[in-house]
Chains A and B, each alone.
Chain A
C-alpha cells in the first residue's frame, strides 16, 4: 500500500510533468523542478507505518472483512449466537501470520534498497570528481562510469574513452540480451573527453520527454551554447545496463531513481490467479448464496415455530413485547449467519497459501532440478500458482537458449571428399561420443581455445602434415567472416561474433592452427601454423538472406589474389566450377549425413582471381557501392559476377547444441498430452532444423504444413487447406462453445479430432496476417489440430499474441518458457511463465513465475511437482470443504430440534478450535506430503498428467458431490446420536440426553468421522501424517478433558460451563457404540464406492497404483530410455545468422577498438598502416580539443 500510495503520488507528479527540463552541473536550477533523485524505494512500510498500514491492507481483503462483519454481528446481543472469541481467535491468528510474512518481506526489500542506494559512483561536484552514493546523485549531475560498472541512472552519454565517442553496454539486466550494444555520444559533448574542467563548465540544457517505461525510445533536445541538437535513444545509457569494453565514460543524469526506465518497468506485475482460484471465487459466491438459503429456511422455520409454539412457550420465556414472529425470524437469520459461517471457507484461503508455499519450497529444494554446472537450483518465484503446473495443456517455448544452449560447436567437416569428426573404433563402427571419449590434444597450439573439443584425431594429423586442402579449408574459415577479435593479454583471444555459428567456425580454425588474430579495415592478421601472416583485405561480399553466402577477397603475403566463399550448399553448388563434380558428389553425401544428424551445414569454396580482372571488377564495385539508388541490387549483381567458377573445398557442420535431454523431455511432455509450440525469432530453416533434432517434427508425420504467404488471402487459403487435409469433414464454422460467466463473454473453441500427426510451420510474416481478428480462429483451429506448431521469425509481441489467442479461446492452461528479453511478453501473458536461469540474461527470469537452468527440468516441474501440487491442492480442497460442510450442516439439522433458535450443536470452544487446532495439521500434512505414486512412476506413466488437464479432481461437479457427501455425513452425524440418545440414560440411571452430553457426543463423532475420512483420502502415510492425525485426536481428547475439568471451572467459572460432561458421558459404553456406528456409517460407503469404482471404472491412477503394488517386490522401473531418433534424410539449414552481416562495419573501421596502451602489439605496427594511423588522428583530435 505504501508503495501504491507513493506510486500514485509520483504519478500525479508525473502527470504534471509534461516535459523535463534540466541543466548540467546546476543543482539549484534542477532542484526547482523537484525531480526525484537517484534513491529507489521498493519497500512498502517503515517502522511507524508498518502496523497501521498493514492492518489497513489486511482488512481490505474479503476474508478478513468477513471476519470483522461476523464479529460485529456477534456484538449485537439480540443476534449473537456465538461468543466473540470464536471469531476473534482465528482472526488474530490469520492477521499475525500475514503480519509476520509481510514484515520479513519488507525487511528484505529494505536491505536490497539499502544495498543499491549505497553503491558508489564518481560524480562531478564543484569541479571535482568525488565518490558519491547512488542515492545522492541528482538529476543534472555528471557521473563518471568505468568499465564493468553498472549505469547509475538514465544518463545522457557525454563522452567516452573510445574513439568516435562510442561506448559498449550490456543490457542483460534490462532486457536479457547478452550481446553488446553500442551507444554514441554527440560530437559536441564527446569533445569534452575527460577534461574535468571543461566538463564542470558544461552547461548544456536538456529538454526531454517525461519519465516513461519505453526502453527503446527517447526524444529530447540538448542545447549547448545556443545550439540545439536532437537526442535519441542512441545517446542514452539506461540504468541497469553494464558498461563493457570501455575504459570510462561521462554521462549526464536525466532520470534518477524511480523515474528511470528500469524502475518504471518494474513493479507492474500482473497478478496471476490459477484456474482453481477462479473456480473458488465462483464457488464462494455460490456458497454465500447457499448460506443465505439455509439461513432463510431456518428463519422461516423460526417464524413458524414462533407462531405455533413460541407464543405458548411464553410461560417459560416471555419476551418484552410478546412474540413477534417476523422480528424473531429476522434476528434468527443473522444468528444463523454467525453459526453457519463455517461453510464459507475463509480459513481455507490461509491454508491454501500455506500449502502453495510449502509446495513451492519443494520445488526450490529439488536436487533433481538443480544444475551443477551453473550452480542454479530451481526457483518458484511465484508461490501461488503451483497447482496450475499440473494442468498445463499448451507449452510455448522459445528456441534459442531454451531448447538449445545457444552454443555452436564445430562438429564435423568434409574436406576434399573426406569426412572428419566421427570417432570410429577398430572395427570401423561409429562410436558415440561421451564425456569419456578422448579429446584431441591442442596443446601444440599455444593460441588454441581450451574450451574447444574435437574427437577425430585424423583431422589434426592432416593439418600437421600440411595437407593443402585441409589447410585451405581452415584458412578460409580464418579469413572469411566478420568476427571481431579481442586480445586483452597476449594469447588470450576473445571473438565477438555476430552469430554463434561464425564464432564456432573461426574458433575451429583457431584450434587447428589458423588463428585469426586481429583485423583492420584493410587487413586480416592470422597466425598460420605458428607463422604470423597478414592478408590484405580487398573486399567483403557480405551476407544477406537472398545471397545466403558471404565472400572475402584477400591478397596473401605472397601476392596471391583469392576469393574465399562460404554459404548455403545450394547457393555454392550453383557457382562451382564443373571440374568439382566428383568432389561435389561425395560432399553432397556428407552434407546429407550431417543434415540427418541435425547439424547446420555450410559449403566452402575458393577461387584464385586474376589481378587485371579484379582491378576492373573493383572499379565497378566501387561505382555500385556508391550508387545512390538501388544500391543493393547493383551490388548483388556485381557480387554474382565474381562468385562463380568456384572450387569446392568442402563443407562444415556446426551443431546448434540442444540442451541436455531436450528430445526426451519433449517426448515425455507429448506423452502427457501437452502440446508444444515453438515460438522463435530465428529463421524458418533453423527452427525447422531444431524441430527435427528435438523430435517435434518427425519423418513419420503425415504432413508438415508450411505457411509462408505474403497476403492475408493466401495465408487463409493455406490454413484452410491444411485443415481440410487433416480433417476433410471439418466445417467452416469453428466449433465454438459460448458461455457467459460473470458478465464476461467467453468463446471457447473445442478440440477437433484428427487422424495421424501433423506439423505446422508458420513464419512471422504470415503470422501477422493470421493473428488478425478475422483469421485468428482459423489459425487456432488449424494449429490446434497439429501435433507440433513452430512459429518462426516472430516478434516478442507476436509471441504474446499467440499465447493470448490460445489462452482466450481454448479452455486450457498455458505455459511459456524462455530465456531472453524477447520472451518476457509471452512469459507474462501465459498462465505460467518459466524462465531459464543460470545464464547471463535475467529479464526473462525476473518476469517469470518459475525458473530453472535447463529445459529438461520442465518435465519434472510439470509431471512431478505440478502433478503432485494439483493432486494435493484438490485433495485439500475436497477434504476441507467436506469437513466444514459436514461440521456446519449438523447445526442445520439441529435447528429443527431447538426451535430454530440458533442454538449450536457443539461447545463454543470446539467451534473455535475445530479448524484451528483439531483438524488443521492433519490436512496440512496430507496436502504437503501426499503422492499417489512417486516421481519415477510419474515419469514412467506421463498419462497420469491428464486428469489435471481435464480438471478432473476439483470442479463444480466434484463440489456438488462433496456437498452431497457432506449432507449424508451430517445426517448420519446428527440423527444417529439423536436416535441413540433419545430417552436414554446412563447405566446408573442418571441423565445423558442433556444438551452438554449430546454436544460432546456430536462433536466427538464429527471429529472422528472427518479424521477417518482424511485417512481414506491419504495415499502416502508418512510418519508426519500419522503423528498429526493421532496427535490431533489426542489433543482433542486432552483439551476436552482439560476444559471440562474441575480445575478449569474453579478458575474461570462461567467460561467453561461444560464441566464434567466428558467424564459423565465418555465413560458410557453406549456413547462409544454410537461413535463407532457413526464412524462406520460415514466411512464404509466411501470405501465401498471407491472399491467398486476401481473395479468397474479404474482411472489411470488406479491402474498405476495397482502396478506399483504388484511391482513392490521387484525393483523400481528403470528410467525411461529413449532411442536416439535422429535419422532423417532432409537437408538442413545453413549455418548463418539471419541478420545482415557486419561486413560494412568491418570495412568501415567504425567498430574497431584501437589498441592504445592496454594491448601489446604482436605485429609490427608498420604492417597495418590503418591501425597505425587511426590513433594518430584520434590523438590529434584530442590534442586539438584539449588545446582549444
Chain B
C-alpha cells in the first residue's frame, strides 16, 4: 500500500508552507533611525511654530459671571432664592475683535460625562417617535414621568438640566447702548439638526398637539415646543440651544456655543469700545461648586485657541533633535563590534 502512494505524504513546496514568503525585513539601523529622528524633530518644530503662532492670533475674552464673590455683579442673582434675576457685566475692547466672533457659555466642574447622566435620555423620543412619548425609556429615570405619572418629553436628566441663562450684548456707541445682533442659527451640528433629532409629525398642523399628553421636563420653564417664542421653526427637539446642550461634553470643564456674531455692523468683528452683557440668570451652579462664564472667541484653521498643541509639537520636536544627537554620539562611540 505504501509503495502505491510513494511520496504522497510529501508536503507541498510552496513559499507559504515552507515559510519562505518574500518579506521586507527592516532593521533599526543607524542610517535610518538617526536621520529619521532629526527629520521628525525638524518637522515637528516647524509644525509647532506654525501652530503656536496661529494660536497666538486667536483672540479670546473670558468672563466669569457666577457671582461667587461678593464684588461680582451677579452676586445677588446667585442666591438660590433669586427669581428672574438679571445682572450685567461690562468689558471693553482696546482693539477690534476680529470676526466672525463666537459667543460661548462655559461651565466648570459640571459632569456631563457622568455615565448615568449621559444615558439619561431617550434617543427614540428625540427622533420624533411618538410611541416613546407615551412610554419613555427606563434610562430616563427619575425624569421619566412626573409625580402624576405623566410621561415627560423630552425625558431624562440630560434634557432636564438644559442650560437656560440667556444673554444680550450691547455696544456703547455715542453713549447709547446699541444691541449687538446675536445669530443663533446653525450653531448645532448639521447631523444633529438634520438626522439625529426630529420633531414629531405635526398633529393638526401644530407641534404643540403632537406633545399632547406629555409633561415638560421638571426644570424647564416652558414646554419643548415653546422654547423659542420668536421663531416657530426653532422649537421642539430642533431648537438649536437644545441640540447644543444635548451634545454632552467629554470633560467636566466645557464651553458650548451660544451665538455667533456675524451680522450687520459686527460682521467684521467687535470694534474697540465698551460692551455691556445683560445676563438673565437662571441656572444654579454654585451648589456643586460650579462656575459659569461667557467666552468670546474667534477661530483659525486649527479651531479655537489652544496653545497646548503648538507647545507640545515644539517640545517633542526639540526632544527628537536632541535624541538624534545623543544617538549619533552613542553610535559613534559604542557601535557594536562586527564579530560575534
Q: Whose C-beta in chain B lies nearest to the C-beta of A369? A: B11
* Segment at the B interface, from A68-76, A1086-1094, A1160-1168: A1086-1094
Is A774 engaged at the interface, CB distance under 8 Å to the other chain? no
Q: Considering residues A868, A1020, A1063, which has the most beta carbons from chain B within 10 angstroms of its beta carbon?
A: A1020
Going nearest first, the 9 A-B pairs with the smallest beta carbon separation are: A1060-B191, A998-B250, A312-B288, A365-B17, A989-B102, A898-B113, A985-B304, A901-B115, A903-B115
CA distance A365 to B20 in the complex (A): 12
Contacts of A1060 in B (CB 8 A): 189-192, 195-196
Which chain A residues (966-988) contact chain B, with CB distance < 8 Å?
Answer: 976, 978-988
Whether the pair B27, A315 counts as a contact (CB closer than 8 A) is no
* Known interface pairs A980-B309, A1077-B313; A998-B251 also in contact (CB < 8 Å): yes
What's the least CB distance linking A563 to chain B, in Å? 45
* Segment at the B interface, from A395-403, A873-881, A1047-1055: A1047-1055
Is A313 engaged at the interface, CB distance under 8 Å to the other chain? yes
Q: Out of B10, B123, B297, name the residue touching A377 (CB < 8 Å).
A: B10
Q: Out of B18, B30, B189, B302, name the residue touching A367 (CB < 8 Å).
A: B18
Contacts of B120 in A (CB 8 A): 317
Is A941 engaged at the interface, CB distance under 8 Å to the other chain? yes
Is A724 engaged at the interface, CB distance under 8 Å to the other chain? no
Whether the pair B288, A315 counts as a contact (CB closer than 8 A) is yes
**Given A989-B304, A1073-B51, A1100-B340, 16 new contacts (CB under 8 A):** A312-B289, A316-B160, A317-B157, A318-B142, A320-B142, A366-B17, A367-B17, A375-B5, A897-B251, A899-B114, A984-B303, A995-B118, A995-B247, A1088-B33, A1109-B29, A1110-B338
Contacts of B19 in A (CB 8 A): 362, 366, 868, 929, 931, 935
Is B248 engaged at the interface, CB distance under 8 Å to the other chain? yes
Contacts of A1053 in B (CB 8 A): 123-124, 127, 129
* Known interface pairs A982-B306, A1060-B195, A1091-B33; A929-B23 also in contact (CB < 8 Å): yes
Contacts of A994 in B (CB 8 A): 247-250
CA distance A994 to B312 in the complex (A): 22
* Known interface pairs A313-B288, A994-B250, A1087-B33; A1107-B340 also in contact (CB < 8 Å): yes
Contacts of A1023 in B (CB 8 A): 21-22
* Segment at the B interface, from A419-427, A444-452, A634-642, A1064-1072: A1064-1072
CA distance A987 to B288 in the complex (A): 32
CA distance A133 to B109 in the complex (A): 83
* Known interface pairs A317-B116, A1080-B44; A1105-B27 also in contact (CB < 8 Å): yes
Contacts of B51 in A (CB 8 A): 1073
Q: Out of B111, B157, B330, name the residue touching A899 (CB < 8 Å).
A: B111
CA distance A1110 to B23 in the complex (A): 17
Is A785 engaged at the interface, CB distance under 8 Å to the other chain? no
Whether the pair A1074, B336 counts as a contact (CB closer than 8 A) is no
CA distance A1053 to B121 in the complex (A): 13
Whether the pair B10, A370 counts as a contact (CB closer than 8 A) is yes
Q: Whose C-beta in chain A lies nearest to the C-beta of B19? A: A362
CA distance A993 to B36 in the complex (A): 33
Is B6 engaged at the interface, CB distance under 8 Å to the other chain? yes
Binary interface encoding of chain A residues 862-887 relative to chain B, with 1 for a CB under 8 A from any of its CBs, else 0 = 00000010000000000000000000
Contacts of B320 in A (CB 8 A): 1084
B contact residues, total (Cβ < 8 Å):
103
What's the least CB distance linking A983 to chain B, in Å? 6
Contacts of B138 in A (CB 8 A): 77
Is A81 engaged at the interface, CB distance under 8 Å to the other chain? yes
Is A1159 engaged at the interface, CB distance under 8 Å to the other chain? no
Binary interface encoding of chain B residues 1-18 relative to chain A, with 1 for a CB under 8 A from any of its CBs, else 0 = 010011111111100011
* Known interface pairs A367-B11, A983-B253; A1094-B323 also in contact (CB < 8 Å): no
Q: Out of B142, B288, B336, name the residue touching A1098 (CB < 8 Å).
A: B336
Whether the pair B334, A1088 counts as a contact (CB closer than 8 A) is no
* Known interface pairs A367-B10, A899-B113, A1081-B316; A996-B302 also in contact (CB < 8 Å): no
Q: Out of B115, B253, B299, B330, name the residue touching A985 (CB < 8 Å).
A: B299
What's the least CB distance linking B211 to chain A, in Å? 20
Q: Whose C-beta in chain A lies nearest to the C-beta of B248? A: A995
> Chain A residues in contact with chain B, CB under 8 A?
77, 81, 309, 312-313, 315-320, 335, 362, 364-368, 370, 372, 375-377, 868, 894, 897-899, 901-903, 929, 931, 934-935, 941, 976, 978-999, 1019-1025, 1046, 1049-1050, 1053-1054, 1057, 1059-1060, 1063-1064, 1068-1070, 1073-1074, 1077, 1080-1081, 1084, 1087-1088, 1090-1092, 1094-1096, 1098, 1100, 1102-1110
CA distance A1070 to B310 in the complex (A): 10
Q: Whose C-beta in chain B lies nearest to the C-beta of A319? A: B142
Q: Considering residues A1054, A1091, A1108, which has the most beta carbons from chain B within 10 angstroms of its beta carbon?
A: A1091
What's the least CB distance linking A92 to chain B, in Å? 25
Whether the pair A903, B114 counts as a contact (CB closer than 8 A) is yes
* Known interface pairs A1087-B28, A1095-B330; A1021-B23 also in contact (CB < 8 Å): yes
11 A–B pairs (Cβ distance < 8 Å), ordered by A: A317-B161, A362-B19, A984-B303, A994-B249, A995-B248, A998-B250, A998-B251, A1069-B301, A1077-B309, A1080-B40, A1088-B323
Whether the pair B250, A1068 counts as a contact (CB closer than 8 A) is no
CA distance A1168 to B252 in the complex (A): 111
Binary interface encoding of chain B residues 69-113 relative to chain A, with 1 for a CB under 8 A from any of its CBs, else 0 = 000000000000000000000000000000010101010010111
Contacts of B47 in A (CB 8 A): 1073
Q: Whose C-beta in chain B lies nearest to the C-beta of A898? A: B113
Q: Whose C-beta in chain B lies nearest to the C-beta of A320? A: B142
What's the least CB distance linking B39 to chain A, in Å? 12
What's the least CB distance linking B251 to chain A, in Å? 5
Q: Whose C-beta in chain B lies nearest to the C-beta of A368? A: B18
Whether the pair A1095, B334 counts as a contact (CB closer than 8 A) is yes
Is B181 engaged at the interface, CB distance under 8 Å to the other chain? no
Is B277 engaged at the interface, CB distance under 8 Å to the other chain? no
Whether the pair A316, B330 counts as a contact (CB closer than 8 A) is no
Whether the pair B40, A898 counts as a contact (CB closer than 8 A) is no
Whether the pair A985, B257 counts as a contact (CB closer than 8 A) is yes
Is B255 engaged at the interface, CB distance under 8 Å to the other chain? yes
Whether the pair A1096, B112 counts as a contact (CB closer than 8 A) is no
Whether the pair B113, A897 counts as a contact (CB closer than 8 A) is yes
Contacts of A316 in B (CB 8 A): 117, 157, 160-161
CA distance A1057 to B196 in the complex (A): 8
Contacts of A1084 in B (CB 8 A): 37, 40, 320, 323
CA distance A1059 to B192 in the complex (A): 8
* Known interface pairs A1095-B331, A1095-B334; A365-B18 also in contact (CB < 8 Å): yes
Is B276 engaged at the interface, CB distance under 8 Å to the other chain? no
